[in-house]
Structure 1
Amino acid sequence: MLEFAGFLPILLVIGMAAIQLGLIGYGINQAGSGARAAARVASQDGDGTAAGQAAVSGWLKPDVTSDKGADLTTATVHVHVPGVIPLFGGYDVTRHATMPTDD
């Protein structure tokens, strides 16, 4: 019983680190999806910012920007993944996507 009580904090930290890594992976996936959606819609003269924000979970608070050029449209999505482990802050994730501009 005493050994388990001494080892329990280590198990909790390992479990919280696994949850944190899962959240970071989810944030990376969501940012990539939002960037692709924003670039695709912006390349077709649509509102890429709205499309990118709609493609990302709202609790990640996405910041979407798109830049339409003559040949290529690039979108960037920044999301903030909250920290689960105390004493560590959240993590910022950025993803970019580029699509050919439709004329």
Structure 2
Amino acid sequence: MRSSDHRRPDRGSVALEFAGFLPLLLLLGLAAVQLGIAAYAASQAGTAARAGARAETDADFPTQGAWAARHAVSGWLQDGHDEFSYARSSGGGEVTVTVSIRIPSLMPGIQDWGHVERSSTMPSD
């Protein structure tokens, strides 16, 4: 009998082990992408807070802070009614703007990752 005609009893076991391990790899990949989405939402909240604070301190358009903050954020991060919130406080010659953005979910079964909040303070005129 030639060695090429002989079939080993464990043939295909690597493919079977990979098929069993594949869901774990996919879940790990989704978790990495979800972490990136959370970091992106935090970055966008910081950008919106700075844009809002800058607009609030502008003497020509002092009431445009919320508009500027909302338009500084990517559209898919502010689509719903609970996705984006804006708060302004002032005192002592400063304006502080706080923006909160809900972190979108990519993971199946987990819909609420919470909100990310960033603040920016600028001197007022």
- TM-score, normalization by structure 2: 0.76
Name structure 1 gaps, 5 residues minimum.
none
Q: Identify the residue that residue 15 of structure 1 maps to in structure 2.
A: 29
Structure 2 partner of 1:99: 122
For structure 2, the 5+ residue unaligned runs are 1-14, 79-83
> Which residue, out of 46, 62, 77, partners 1:32?
46
More helix by share: 1
Question: How far 1:3 moved relative to its partner?
Answer: 0.7
Aligned residues: 102
Higher alpha-carbon Rg = 2
Q: CA deviation at 1:70?
A: 4.4
What is the deviation of 1:86? 1.6
- Identical aligned residues as a percent: 44
| TM-score after normalising by structure 1 | 0.91
Q: Is the 8 A contact 1:39 1:75 kept in 2?
A: yes
Instruction: Name the one with the larger strand percent.
Output: 1
Residues in 2 aligned to 1:58 and 1:21: alpha-carbon distance in whole angstroms: 19
The root-mean-square deviation of aligned C-alpha atoms, in Å, is 1.2
> Cα deviations across residues 65-88 of structure 1 (Å, max 9, x unaligned)?
222334110001111121111222
Partner Cα separation in structure 2 for residue 41 and residue 68 of structure 1: 13
